[in-house]
Structure 1
Amino acid sequence: MKYRPIDQLEQSDRLGRNIYANDGRVLLGKGISLTIGLIGRLKRMGVHAVYVMDDEEEGKDIPESEDESSISDKTKREVMKNLSESLGIIQEGKDFHTKDLGQTTKNIIDELLHNKDVLLQLEDIRTKDNELLIHSMHVTVMSVLVGIKLQYTNKELIELGIGAILHDVGKVGKKQKDGLAANEHHAWIGFNTLRKNREISTVSAHVAFQHHEYLDGSGEPRGVKGENIHPYARIVSVANTYDNLVSPQDGSQPLLPYEAGEQIMGLAGEKFDRDVVWQFLRSVAFYPNGSNVHLSNGSIATIVGQNKGLPQRPIVRIFSNNTTNQYMHYDVEEINLAKAPTLFINRMVQD
Structure 2
Amino acid sequence: MKLVDIETVEPGQILGKTIFSSNGTVLLSTGVQLTVYMISTLKRIGVTTIYIDNPMYRDISHDEMLSEDTKRAVIHQMSEMFGSLRSGKSFSSKAIGQTIDDLLDDVLKNQNILIHLSDIRTADNAMFLHAMNVCMISSLLGLNMGLNMIQLKELAIGALLHDIGKLGAPEVQEGRMHHAWRGFDLLKNKREYSLLIAHVAFQHHETINGTGVPRGLAGEDIHIYAKITAVANVYDNMIYNSVDGMPLLPHEACERLNAMSGTLLDHEVLVHFMRIVSIYPNGISVKLTNRQTGVVVGQHRGLPGRPIIRVIDKEDDEAVSYREIDLAQHPTIFIESVLS
TM-score range for the pair, normalised by the shorter chain length: over 0.9
User: Which residue pairs with 1:76 in the alignment?
Assistant: 71
Runs of at least 5 residues in structure 2 that lack an aligned partner in the other structure: none
**Aligned partner of residue 51 in structure 1, secondary structure:** strand
Deviation at residue 43 of structure 1 after TM alignment? 2.0
**Aligned partner of residue 30 in structure 2, secondary structure:** coil
Cα distance change, pair 80–252 in 1 and its aligned pair in 2 (3 A): same
Q: Which amino acid aligns with 1:6?
A: I
Deviations 1:30-80 (A, max 9, x none): 11111001111112222222111123356x8x9xxx431111001001111
Structure-2 separation of matches of 1:330 and 1:39: 28
Cα distance change, pair 38–251 in 1 and its aligned pair in 2 (3 A): farther
Deviations 1:207-233 (A, max 9, x none): 111111110111111111111111000
Cα distance change, pair 337–250 in 1 and its aligned pair in 2 (3 A): closer
**Aligned partner of residue 332 in structure 1, secondary structure:** strand
Q: 1:189 aligns with which of 172, 176, 182?
A: 182
Structure-2 separation of matches of 1:8 and 1:158: 42
Greater displacement, 113-122 / 68-77: 113-122
Cα distance change, pair 57–314 in 1 and its aligned pair in 2 (3 A): closer
**Aligned partner of residue 338 in structure 1, secondary structure:** coil
**Count of matched residue pairs:** 337
Q: Which amino acid aligns with 1:68?
A: D
Q: Percent identity?
A: 42
Cα distance change, pair 150–250 in 1 and its aligned pair in 2 (3 A): closer
Please list, as runs of the form range in 1=range in 2, the aligned pairs for 1:113-192 lying within 5 A after superposition: 113-177=108-172, 180-192=173-185
Q: Which amino acid aligns with 1:77?
A: R
User: Which residue pairs with 2:34 in the alignment?
Assistant: 34
Deviations 1:129-180 (A, max 9, x none): 1110000001111111111110110001000000000001011133532xx3
User: Which residue pairs with 1:54 in the alignment?
Assistant: 54
User: Which residue pairs with 1:100 in the alignment?
Assistant: 95
Deviations 1:266-303 (A, max 9, x none): 11111111110011111111111111112122221210
Deviation at residue 241 of structure 1 after TM alignment? 0.4
Q: Is 2:235 aligned against 1:245?
A: no
Structure-2 separation of matches of 1:41 and 1:249: 24
Asked whether the 8 Å contact 2:19–2:27 carries over to 1, the reply is yes
User: Which residue pairs with 2:258 in the alignment?
Assistant: 265
Q: Which amino acid aligns with 1:123?
A: S
User: Which residue pairs with 2:86 in the alignment?
Assistant: 91
**Aligned partner of residue 302 in structure 1, secondary structure:** strand
User: Which residue pairs with 1:110 in the alignment?
Assistant: 105
Structure-2 separation of matches of 1:155 and 1:294: 45
Deviation at residue 249 of structure 1 after TM alignment? 7.7
Deviations 1:53-112 (A, max 9, x none): 123356x8x9xxx43111100100111111111121122222222112111112111211
Q: Which amino acid aligns with 2:151?
A: E
Runs of 4+ in 1 over 3 A off after TM superposition: none
Q: Which amino acid aligns with 1:164?
A: A
Q: Which amino acid aligns with 2:23?
A: D
Asked whether the 8 Å contact 2:242–2:248 carries over to 1, the reply is no
Structure-1 separation of matches of 2:74 and 2:210: 33
Cα distance change, pair 276–250 in 1 and its aligned pair in 2 (3 A): closer
Deviations 1:9-28 (A, max 9, x none): 11012111111112111010
Q: Is 2:247 aligned against 1:254?
A: yes
User: Which residue pairs with 2:327 in the alignment?
Assistant: 337
Runs of at least 5 residues in structure 1 that lack an aligned partner in the other structure: none
Q: 2:301 aligns with which of 279, 303, 308?
A: 308
Structure-2 separation of matches of 1:249 and 1:187: 20
**Aligned partner of residue 334 in structure 1, secondary structure:** strand
Deviation at residue 250 of structure 1 after TM alignment? 7.5
Greater displacement, 30-39 / 47-56: 47-56
TM-score when normalising by structure 2 = 0.94
Asked whether the 8 Å contact 2:50–2:120 carries over to 1, the reply is yes
**Aligned partner of residue 56 in structure 2, secondary structure:** coil
Structure-1 separation of matches of 2:48 and 2:175: 33
Greater displacement, 28-37 / 292-301: 292-301
